[in-house]
Structure 1
Amino acid sequence: MSADTPPVTHPACHDRYDDVVDGFAPQDRTLRTMLQRQADRYGDRPFVTCGGVSWTFARTAEVARDWGARLGAAGIGAGDRVLIHCSNRAEFLQAYLGATWIGAIATPVNTAFRGAQLAHVLANAGPKLLIVEEQFQHAYDDLGADAQLPPLLWPVTADGIQTSGSTAHPADIVAVQPGDTAAILYTSGTTGPSKGVCCPQAQFFWWGIYSARALGVREGDVLMTALPVFHTNALNAFYQALLMGCEYVLLPKFSASGYWTSAVECRATVTYLLGAMAAILMAQPERPGDRKHVIRTALGGGVPARDQETFFHRFGIPLVDGYASTESNFLFYNPYPSPRPGSMGKLAKGAHAMVADEHDMPVPDGTAGELLLRPTEPHSFASGYFGMPEKTVEAWANLWFHTGDRVVRNPDGYFSFIDRMKDAIRRRGENVSSWEVEQAIMTHDAIEACAVYPVPSELGEDEVATAIQLKEGQTLAPLDLIQYLETRLAHFAVPRYVRQMQAMPLTENGKIKKVVLREEGIVPDMWDLETTGYKVKR
């Protein structure tokens, strides 16, 4: 490391985080109590900035209370699902805070979901209310008459959420408990449809604590994120700000050309970059404004080790890597500089970890196995998958959460990620279910068989590739397949690479051997969407 390498970004002392934990007894780890208590403590201090909207701590509690009352007046009560299909704007937060305040279950939808993905979420969640931004309404119109739409629909227009519904039977306001489900977050499946992760109220409390500790968040920091608020990361940044007394700045979307300008304008001190975002920023032409910001640290999950030092020397920002999942929490973090750059880091307090074989038995250090996790704090992990008891039992077998990730624990206590146990694909910060993409491909009349798998991306993470075998006598141009899929899949799930096969590699029992395709990777006869200039519709 060079002379201007920063000190390790792990806090030298965790007392400030322990003090926050001690300030909230286990029964107080609900959004309602956290908002009320922090509103009393911080009052008119700026808390939420989103677009042209700014709320103080006191005002945010009022927003949550007000929108909780509106939902209750429409008959939404504890346990009812409120589907929120909205981009990074204040209306998302109004709906989320209002639902969570009264014990209803906020159910954000990935704004790119279409077709069968969206129909599955509707059928699985069974929402009582859909709050949908006007620009996404067409996705529901396209589902047809068989779609299981909720009885109430509130559109989000330029004038805000347009509420409606009977007030004849308002829902009762109940006490909310730390183990009650605050949100259902849909994460892409690997061998089946997307699973709705049931996230308790207290899980978000611990997301705020663990993430703040990993990043060294201090009272008065400004936390800026451009990540989509329907995912865990941007939501838990809100809880970091709430618990630590910080300002939360939610940008409408990630803009490589405008990122540093936004950081300067809001005086951000902490920011969040996942996967390809850091590579995209480094690919921009160097500008004088690259170092005019005051950002002290950033989350750099998934940034290759080779890029971390380059990023620091250009932008002056150390990237903290780590490991987290929607089902668990931010339990591993790796500072910059690190004795093992590119690793997951060491296990933080808050959980036990075991690297196990196929029988859930521990393997020695240096041996690859599946990462199993178990919390030490109540309700700090998800409680299961909504409406999928068999998947819940499978994932939490033997009282351990099975992450599905292959890792190695090194003798020095650092964990290293090897690969995914199954066929999940991580592309541009999004999880892609190979199973869902395959199901969409197989609806095309010309397709006999297909396999979807990851190949390396020049931006880090993965690109989506598919191998297809056509029915006898059929022809299908790769671009025609892409245009067929773009109305049936989220844009980030549409394959970049298409490989036409005369015959698929098969196992003895007739299953496609994806491992062969993955190991072969990008081959010369693969068709590459990027070379055509065609842009997948969003």
Structure 2
Amino acid sequence: MNEAAQADDAIIAPRDGVSYVRGTTHIALLDSTVSRVLRDTVRRFPGRDAVVFSDQHIRWTWKAFDEQVDALALGLLELGVKKGDRVAIWSPNRAEWLVTQFATARIGAILVNINPAYRLHELEYALNKVGCTVLISAVRFKTSDYLDMLRTLAPELDAGHARLSSARLPHLTYVVQMGEAAVAGMLRYADVVHSGMQARQCAGATRLAAGEATLHCDEPINIQFTSGTTGNPKGATLTHRNIVNNGRFIGMAMKLDERDALCIPVPFYHCFGMVLGVLACVSSGAKMVFPCEGFDAGATLRAVSIERCTGLHGVPTMFIAELDHPEFESFDLRSLRTGIMAGSPCPIETMKKVVSRMHMAEVTIAYGMTETSPVSFQSSTEDPLDKRVTTVGRIQPHLEVRIVGPDGDTVPVGVKGELWTRGYSVMVGYWDDDDKTREAIVDGWMRTGDLATLDEDGYCNIVGRVKDMLIRGGENVYPREIEEFLFQHPDVQSVQVFGVPDAKYGEEICAWIVPKPGRTLTDVDIRQFCEGQIAHFKIPRYIRFVDAIPMTVTGKAQKFVMRDRMIEELGLKTAKTA
């Protein structure tokens, strides 16, 4: 820690043996909006490369990117979008998504991130929950035909009227589609941008500047739906201050500047893409490289090699896929130095391979949640390797964290408890859901639901989810501990551990394992590997070998899906999805 940090009121390492830390405050928070941060970077580096979309063959300088943002912002104003209106975006990683992120921020509209994997019920719920007036949509992604789903929800689109009036989507007035072809009832994205460009030539810049002057950093600017395992998703509402400062501190931890190029294969709709990726680059001037619409290991490695990227983001499963790519050795990755591995627990062995084989000696680990903008802990590029492979680093600036026991008290150092965080990053709340907000935020503290420990130096280790912990015969069992152990087996590519109901022990341990390509494993192999190495009650009773682990778009394992399948397979009638 530098001298300036030591001079402030930070408590980077716990004191008096209590699991409480407070981040440094020697770097002031920015009282800025998303749009002003972009404009500042454009002024500093107008001619430098800012954006590369490999699939779309797009390459923009900061100045050219800013002009695209202005054009769409004015186009939305021409449609009648006002400050505070909700504008949804439903698309994989395309240039239109990136431009929309900043165009909505420029006019004070609230961007609503729609998961690209959403189907009819989820889409209808999200659009109606927050009252979206405009939806900007891709034509399709993978097996999802977006336009067909929209016609199902709003058959009125077929009438061909530009302004929509739908019974099932009562708030929605316009659908803007990204395709080239004209579609009945929808506006073309290109036409909306064109109308904005025309407006820009007629005092549009003055109109935008006047609107921007009314924006405040504490106003909501983004709604992200959390992917809960039960019930409908909740709309975490974030402000300019939340995401601007989080992106800025993330970039600082990676030592990003205008000479860097960051490869971003993680999805925009999630904080990992739009904050840890995009806003970290915009605040530092680093070039953003987007290899493909949806993650592809080969395309990602190719983009890193061609663009000479110095950073690469990804969830552990992405890095595993890249390392296992059959043509891995043919890609020149020597330009890499940093990046972030986050989104789910990072296997130690994978982290070591990323450092040694991908040249990412300064790779960092980050931890957080959507409701905290998202990062609360991040390792430094200078942290010892053992800390970067076994922890999620130390607390970010201007935040407080404590580890809380079942009785609500802060636990001693090294003791497991629920991680609570407080500070500028905590969301405004869940949109139109005060009850859920009050459950989640207590006296400013965001209850994360994650089990964690703090060591004597302030490094945090995430040991699982409060809801994931299972109790077998009176023994507390933490799935991640077993997963880390099984991952050391030379023939195991990935593994997930969870509990299923059991009449005798309360819960039994189940492991889903993906063997490495060309390798064969049996139940006996796994149990022999465990014997004498971990306690007998931690050895999985049920072991299944699968081709793939069910994942969310962001690479998080869907344990509730696995659990439901096992309950059905085993004929267990008393359990319900966690």
* Alpha carbons of structure 1 residues 13 and 399: separation in structure 2 relative to 1, 3 Å: closer
Residue 443 of structure 1 corresponds to which residue in structure 2? none
* Alpha carbons of structure 1 residues 274 and 397: separation in structure 2 relative to 1, 3 Å: same
Residues 324, 330 of structure 1: 8 Å contact kept: yes
* Alpha carbons of structure 1 residues 223 and 504: separation in structure 2 relative to 1, 3 Å: same
Residue 350 of structure 2 corresponds to which residue in structure 1? 307
Mapped pair 1:119 → 2:147: no
* Alpha carbons of structure 1 residues 101 and 459: separation in structure 2 relative to 1, 3 Å: farther
Residues 198, 386 of structure 1: 8 Å contact kept: yes
Which residues in structure 2 correspond to 1:194-233 (within 5 Å)?
194-233=233-272
Question: Any idea what the Cα deviations from partners look like across 1:72-104, whole Å, max 9, x if unmatched?
Answer: 111100110001111211111222221110000
Q: Structure 2 CA distance, aligned partners of 1:504 and 1:151?
A: 46
Mapped pair 1:244 → 2:254: no
Question: Any idea what the Cα deviations from partners look like across 1:133-170, whole Å, max 9, x if unmatched?
Answer: 12222232344666325111111113761556999xx9
SS in 1 for 2:371: coil
Residue 76 of structure 2 corresponds to which residue in structure 1? 71
346, 352, 365: which one pairs with 1:321? 365
The residue type paired with residue 500 of structure 1 is E
Residue 317 of structure 2 corresponds to which residue in structure 1? 276
CA shift, 1:14, in A, is: 8.8
Residue 133 of structure 1 corresponds to which residue in structure 2? 138
96, 99, 114: which one pairs with 2:104? 99
CA shift, 1:349, in A, is: 2.3
Residues 387, 393 of structure 2: 8 Å contact kept: no
Residue 180 of structure 2 corresponds to which residue in structure 1? 158
Mapped pair 1:30 → 2:46: no
Q: Structure 2 CA distance, aligned partners of 1:35 and 1:256?
A: 30
* Alpha carbons of structure 1 residues 403 and 33: separation in structure 2 relative to 1, 3 Å: same
Residue 348 of structure 1 corresponds to which residue in structure 2? 396
Moved more, 497-506 or 355-364: 497-506
Residues 79, 103 of structure 1: 8 Å contact kept: yes
SS in 2 for 1:257: helix
Residue 429 of structure 1 corresponds to which residue in structure 2? none
Question: Any idea what the Cα deviations from partners look like across 1:468-508, whole Å, max 9, x if unmatched?
Answer: xxxxxxxxxxxxxxxxx99xxx99869464433444346xx
Residues 258, 287 of structure 2: 8 Å contact kept: no
* Alpha carbons of structure 1 residues 337 and 290: separation in structure 2 relative to 1, 3 Å: farther
Question: Any idea what the Cα deviations from partners look like across 1:86-135, whole Å, max 9, x if unmatched?
Answer: 12111112222211100001112111101322221122121001111122
Q: Structure 1 CA distance, aligned partners of 2:3 and 2:341?
A: 20
The residue type paired with residue 177 of structure 2 is P
SS in 1 for 2:303: helix
Q: Structure 2 CA distance, aligned partners of 1:459 and 1:239?
A: 37
Residues 82, 109 of structure 2: 8 Å contact kept: yes
| C-alpha RMSD of the superposition | 3.7
TM-score by length of 1: 0.73
The residue type paired with residue 47 of structure 2 is D
Residue 40 of structure 1 corresponds to which residue in structure 2? 43
Moved more, 72-81 or 154-163: 154-163
Residue 482 of structure 1 corresponds to which residue in structure 2? none
Q: Structure 1 CA distance, aligned partners of 2:349 and 2:245?
A: 31
CA shift, 1:350, in A, is: 2.2
The residue type paired with residue 310 of structure 1 is K
Residue 109 of structure 1 corresponds to which residue in structure 2? 114
Q: Structure 1 CA distance, aligned partners of 2:2 and 2:147?
A: 45
* Alpha carbons of structure 1 residues 243 and 143: separation in structure 2 relative to 1, 3 Å: same
SS in 2 for 1:128: strand
Residues 154, 163 of structure 1: 8 Å contact kept: no
Q: Structure 2 CA distance, aligned partners of 1:123 and 1:188?
A: 17
SS in 1 for 2:74: helix
Residue 533 of structure 1 corresponds to which residue in structure 2? none
Q: Structure 2 CA distance, aligned partners of 1:83 and 1:22?
A: 37
Q: Structure 2 CA distance, aligned partners of 1:153 and 1:340?
A: 45
CA shift, 1:326, in A, is: 1.3
Residues 365, 388 of structure 2: 8 Å contact kept: no
Q: Structure 2 CA distance, aligned partners of 1:94 and 1:340?
A: 34
Question: Any idea what the Cα deviations from partners look like across 1:186-211, whole Å, max 9, x if unmatched?
Answer: 11124421111111112221122221
Question: Any idea what the Cα deviations from partners look like across 1:363-392, whole Å, max 9, x if unmatched?
Answer: 1112211100011xx4x3321111111111
SS in 2 for 1:70: helix
140, 151, 173: which one pairs with 2:211? 173
Q: Structure 1 CA distance, aligned partners of 2:439 and 2:217?
A: 24
Residues 35, 60 of structure 1: 8 Å contact kept: no
The residue type paired with residue 156 of structure 1 is M
Structure 2, unaligned runs of 5 or more: 7-24, 141-145, 156-166, 182-187, 197-206, 470-478, 481-497, 499-506, 517-549
Q: Structure 2 CA distance, aligned partners of 1:336 and 1:12?
A: 20
* Alpha carbons of structure 1 residues 341 and 84: separation in structure 2 relative to 1, 3 Å: same
Q: Structure 2 CA distance, aligned partners of 1:331 and 1:421?
A: 18
Q: Structure 1 CA distance, aligned partners of 2:40 and 2:408?
A: 42
Mapped pair 1:337 → 2:385: yes
* Alpha carbons of structure 1 residues 292 and 323: separation in structure 2 relative to 1, 3 Å: closer
Residues 352, 373 of structure 1: 8 Å contact kept: yes
Structure 1, unaligned runs of 5 or more: 1-9, 16-20, 427-433, 435-450, 461-484, 507-511, 515-538
SS in 2 for 1:157: coil
Identity of aligned residues (%): 21
CA shift, 1:513, in A, is: 9.0
Residue 148 of structure 1 corresponds to which residue in structure 2? 169
Residue 463 of structure 1 corresponds to which residue in structure 2? none
* Alpha carbons of structure 1 residues 48 and 372: separation in structure 2 relative to 1, 3 Å: same
Residues 343, 415 of structure 1: 8 Å contact kept: yes
* Alpha carbons of structure 1 residues 303 and 400: separation in structure 2 relative to 1, 3 Å: same
Residues 305, 332 of structure 2: 8 Å contact kept: no
Q: Structure 2 CA distance, aligned partners of 1:513 and 1:115?
A: 22
Q: Structure 1 CA distance, aligned partners of 2:368 and 2:106?
A: 26
Q: Structure 2 CA distance, aligned partners of 1:198 and 1:97?
A: 17
Q: Structure 2 CA distance, aligned partners of 1:245 and 1:26?
A: 16
CA shift, 1:263, in A, is: 0.7
* Alpha carbons of structure 1 residues 198 and 457: separation in structure 2 relative to 1, 3 Å: farther
Q: Structure 2 CA distance, aligned partners of 1:164 and 1:258?
A: 31
The residue type paired with residue 412 of structure 2 is P
Q: Structure 1 CA distance, aligned partners of 2:265 and 2:153?
A: 29
CA shift, 1:248, in A, is: 1.0
Q: Structure 1 CA distance, aligned partners of 2:257 and 2:2?
A: 10
SS in 1 for 2:211: coil
Q: Structure 2 CA distance, aligned partners of 1:294 and 1:340?
A: 20
CA shift, 1:213, in A, is: 2.4
441, 455, 462: which one pairs with 1:417? 462
Residue 569 of structure 2 corresponds to which residue in structure 1? 500
Moved more, 139-148 or 215-224: 139-148
CA shift, 1:258, in A, is: 2.9
394, 397, 410: which one pairs with 1:362? 410
SS in 2 for 1:500: helix
* Alpha carbons of structure 1 residues 381 and 25: separation in structure 2 relative to 1, 3 Å: closer
Q: Structure 1 CA distance, aligned partners of 2:111 and 2:72?
A: 12
CA shift, 1:400, in A, is: 0.5
TM-score by length of 2: 0.68
Residues 44, 58 of structure 1: 8 Å contact kept: yes
